[in-house]
Structure 1
Amino acid sequence: MSAKPRQGRVKCVVWDLDNTVWDGVLLEGDDLRLKQDVVAVIRELDALGVLHSIASKNDHDAAIAKLVEFGIEEYFIYPQIGWSAKSEGLRQIAQSINIGIDALAFVDDQEFERAEVNHAVPEVIVVDVADLHDAVAAPEFRPRFVTAESAERRHLYRTQIARAEAQDSFVGPSDEFLASLEMVFSIKHARQEDLQRAEELTVRTNQLNSTGRTYSYEELDALRTSPEHLLLVATLDDRFGGYGTIGLCLVEKGETAWYLRLLLMSCRVVSRGVGTVLLNHVIGLAAEAGLPLRADFVETGRNRMMQITYAFAGFTEVERDGDRVVLERASLQVAPHPATVTVVTDAAPETVGAA
């Protein structure tokens, strides 16, 4: 079965192994041969920022050893190799990456396995490996921009896995572990070179997205230079390396109140205790202006986490039209940043025409 039509982007392709990534069956002792056209697709999508994983009914250690032997093990994160249903492996992969199940595509040569996934997790795009090249030509597999950061996405996740392993072996309170990361959270006014990644964030971020609205590069560029708006981007680094650009917010500066039109944060940093840093920074800027801060919120069915973030930050509902809500934080008191992170900000927005 070929790919099903959908609106969202594919963030991770999950592969079967036997007669899909390679010709032959590992546990039958076949002389396995990599499918070079499949490997070419894996490398191409990896360069576009699409992640890869595995859901294979196989002996885990033998399969990993064969992937290492073939020189392609590094492409796959959170592989699920064992004897459980493929749909269970897909659910585990989505949970480990912290993305929606509908952001996965699954490639398998066997009709039975494709049917099982279609039935159990119909949100997943299911692809017969025989139809692979036609399937991956679809727009869902092709981001509009390929940023330097998206091209490094796999490495960012592998670094995240290293952090998780360090956390698992750490003895002591969680705050001490977070402090040991030596995190630096940087907030700056968006520059032109930030806009491709900013657009990508509006497309890819669902759970910590206040409105679910996407913004084009051109819209963001106009807002970046508008005197009535603030467009801020945030990055996070620690002793393991960078997380990349993980936050974006858009503020409209009204005469009687400031309006937070968009706030989003990458789910990659939720466990780092920095989810409120960007919001607190905007609260502080509004306080400096002596104005209350209002925030647009649209209930998308997937952003409950952002609604909770606003509630804990002291925002209350003042207007509602169906699933569209206006929240307000009338208090000008600013909460301190977490002690486990150093926050760095720039002084002023980029001026029009600046390099």
Structure 2
Amino acid sequence: MKTPEFAENIRLIIWDLDETFWDGTLTEGGISYRDDHHQLVIDLAKRGIMSAICSKNDHEPIEELLREKGLWDYFIFPSIDWTPKGPRIKAMLETIGLRAASTLFLDDNPMNLAQAEHANPGLNCALPDVIAGLRDAPQLKGKDDSQLSRLAQYKVTEKKAEAAKVTGGDTTAFLRQSNVKVFIEYDVEAHLDRAVELVNRTNQLNFTKNRLSDDPETARRELSQRLAHNTTDAALIRVRDDFGDYGFVGFYMTRRVNNTRTLEHFCFSCRTLNMYIEHWVYAFLGRPKLSVVGEVLSDVQDTAIEVDWITPANIEDMDAPSPGADLTFDHIFARGGCDLASLLHYFTLHSGTIVEEFNEPRNGQMFRRDHSSFLMPELEGGLTPAQTEAASALGYAPRDFDTDILNMGPGQGLYFLSFWADADIPVYRHRETGLRVPYWLVGAQNHNLVERADLRKAIAKTDQQRERLNVLCEEYEHEGILSQDEMERRYNLILDRLPPTAQVVMILAAERGPLHFADPSKPPHPFHQRLNATLNAVAKGRSNVMLLDPASLIDGTEDMIDLNHFKRDVYHRMYRAMLSRFTNAKAA
């Protein structure tokens, strides 16, 4: 007996019945049932390899016979009628979402085989004499699925295909009746093996094809390291509808550089093909940068497809809503640094309008919107033309002093404010116009650049930076970091200008970095301690202001990257903590 080999792994076997699955012809004198083929179907199902039927027969007696044998439910998408087999197989594969190259069709009639291959280029076709060697074929090893979970998933797809006929082939109408729910699992580490599997095993709906190592432990380590980073946003996607639970069918991971997200992984199982789950997730993420690699079965960048039949929720709310699950805001506004960019990713489910004003690189330096000096002109009458010109000489544009904080409109708004830069970036005053702006380059966090010629020489890397430092020395005077009184004045002014219905969250700064996080004998960061004292004073007596302290949600130094940056999981804890506090405040 020769063991057959195929070009790629086989995921589906389509069986003819007469003279193939069993000996003889059902309509011509009876059959001799093949128990060995019966057991093969069961054993392959336990490897995750499905079996289907494509037979020229009457449906009813076939179903009756196979139900009597206890095997009917092991077959998916049974196609039993008297029409040509080629088109039927083509329609079957399109419905299931499988490629012809990963399918094997068994039939005793060479004409049927030729017709099937013609209608389905790449289809593996064989006469029954290969069946005895299939069990040991290297491309039919599959993977352990003794619980028959893959069979159950295909049975859901089969049930849906039958129900879809009621809507006359109108896919959208059918989906709107199916109560499709998407659950977002941000705790990817708890299901790391499934994430690795989706990255490495999906193909037709794997848009980036950015594979991990073939070695399971190495792959887990690679993905874990990337997931931990504070600029990573990631989640698994689980789907349910009226027909069943599809499990975790998708995974995404974005890399955020200067607050611009790029998809590193974006992959989905074909079991939800034509449900447009991938379209919804891509839109939900705000259509981040995506370089599609190779051929895929779906165009998520087609903006003409608008998915309005999906109800999203966090995974914690899958069986029973958790506190804060139904929390919604008319709008969410966030202004600050990368700490807020990491946090806001989790609030996407809670508002259809989110405005982000974050730090960004600009002309060789980082533009720090988390310094209140760029917000104050909007609240205090704006800049004069002379001040605008003075700011331009330091590389600041008029739009840098714009904000939408006062333009969000009425209603229940949530405002996140982080002013960490106020803690230790000095302000310089323009002598002629009185303009006050911060100025900072890497390597000179809180130093007086006007007086430090040695420092200016060390940190200036480009002619542009040297020119601006010359302007700073010639036209500005150093005032230093903001006093507590000035910070308090500014924050009170900001809060007073927000609508009375606004819910405000102000982010405290971490006072201990990873080196001394667990050592109380070491003094806290003095500038951050000072900022936090000011924020506590401002929030006192304001019932609509909450302070969020990241340090209270950091378990140890392993959660920290540095003083201002934490591992990804910390931001998820911050999100869950805020939901709990909002819920408790609402109940009170």
Scaled by the length of structure 2, the TM-score of the pair is 0.47
The unaligned stretches of length 5 or more in structure 2 are: 317-345, 347-566, 571-588
C-alpha offsets along residues 309-330 of structure 1, whole Å, 9 cap, x if unaligned? 124299xxxxxxxxxxxxxxxx
Distance 1:312 1:79 in 2: 36
| Structure 1 position 81, deviation (Å) | 2.0
Helix, strand or coil: the match of 1:28? coil
- For 1:303, the equivalent position in structure 2 comes to 296
In the alignment, residue 294 of structure 1 is paired with which amino acid?
Answer: K
- Do the aligned partners of 1:12 and 1:104 also contact (CA within 8 Å) in 2? yes
Q: Does 1:251 align with 2:246?
A: no
Distance 1:232 1:70 in 2: 43
C-alpha offsets along residues 177-199 of structure 1, whole Å, 9 cap, x if unaligned? 64553333112235456344334
In the alignment, residue 309 of structure 1 is paired with which amino acid?
Answer: V
- For 1:159, the equivalent position in structure 2 comes to 156
- For 2:6, the equivalent position in structure 1 comes to 5
| Structure 1 position 223, deviation (Å) | 1.4
- For 1:90, the equivalent position in structure 2 comes to 89
Is the alpha carbon distance of 1:121 and 1:310 closer, same or farther for their aligned partners in structure 2, counting shifts above 3 Å? closer
Q: Does 1:194 align with 2:191?
A: yes
- For 1:68, the equivalent position in structure 2 comes to 67
- The residue correspondences of 1:330-349 to structure 2 (distance < 5 A) are 338=308, 340-344=310-314
| Structure 1 position 236, deviation (Å) | 0.6
Distance 1:17 1:281 in 2: 46
Higher RCO structure (Cα 8 Å, ≥6 apart) = 1
C-alpha offsets along residues 16-67 of structure 1, whole Å, 9 cap, x if unaligned? 111222122101022x232111111111111122221111222233322222
- Do the aligned partners of 2:107 and 2:128 also contact (CA within 8 Å) in 1? yes
Is the alpha carbon distance of 1:15 and 1:84 closer, same or farther for their aligned partners in structure 2, counting shifts above 3 Å? same
User: Which structure is larger by alpha-carbon Rg, 1 or 2?
Assistant: 2
Quick one: which of 179, 183, 189 aligns to 2:180?
183
| Structure 1 position 270, deviation (Å) | 4.3
Is the alpha carbon distance of 1:116 and 1:165 closer, same or farther for their aligned partners in structure 2, counting shifts above 3 Å? closer
Aligned length: 313
| Structure 1 position 97, deviation (Å) | 0.8
- Do the aligned partners of 1:236 and 1:242 also contact (CA within 8 Å) in 2? yes
Could you say what the CA RMSD is over the residues aligned between the two structures, in angstroms? 3.5
Distance 1:281 1:224 in 2: 24
- Do the aligned partners of 2:55 and 2:80 also contact (CA within 8 Å) in 1? yes
- For 2:536, the equivalent position in structure 1 comes to none
| Structure 1 position 105, deviation (Å) | 0.8
- Do the aligned partners of 2:100 and 2:122 also contact (CA within 8 Å) in 1? yes
| Structure 1 position 82, deviation (Å) | 2.5
Q: Does 1:283 align with 2:286?
A: yes
Distance 1:187 1:310 in 2: 21
Distance 1:19 1:191 in 2: 49
Identity of aligned residues (%): 23
In the alignment, residue 292 of structure 2 is paired with which amino acid?
Answer: F
Is the alpha carbon distance of 1:244 and 1:256 closer, same or farther for their aligned partners in structure 2, counting shifts above 3 Å? closer
Helix, strand or coil: the match of 2:80? strand
Is the alpha carbon distance of 1:296 and 1:220 closer, same or farther for their aligned partners in structure 2, counting shifts above 3 Å? farther
- Do the aligned partners of 1:224 and 1:230 also contact (CA within 8 Å) in 2? no
C-alpha offsets along residues 251-272 of structure 1, whole Å, 9 cap, x if unaligned? 2333463321121223433443
- For 2:445, the equivalent position in structure 1 comes to none
- For 2:28, the equivalent position in structure 1 comes to 28
C-alpha offsets along residues 227-275 of structure 1, whole Å, 9 cap, x if unaligned? 3344421101123320121111132333463321121223433443533
In the alignment, residue 45 of structure 1 is paired with which amino acid?
Answer: L
- For 1:15, the equivalent position in structure 2 comes to 15
Helix, strand or coil: the match of 1:74? helix
In the alignment, residue 14 of structure 1 is paired with which amino acid?
Answer: I
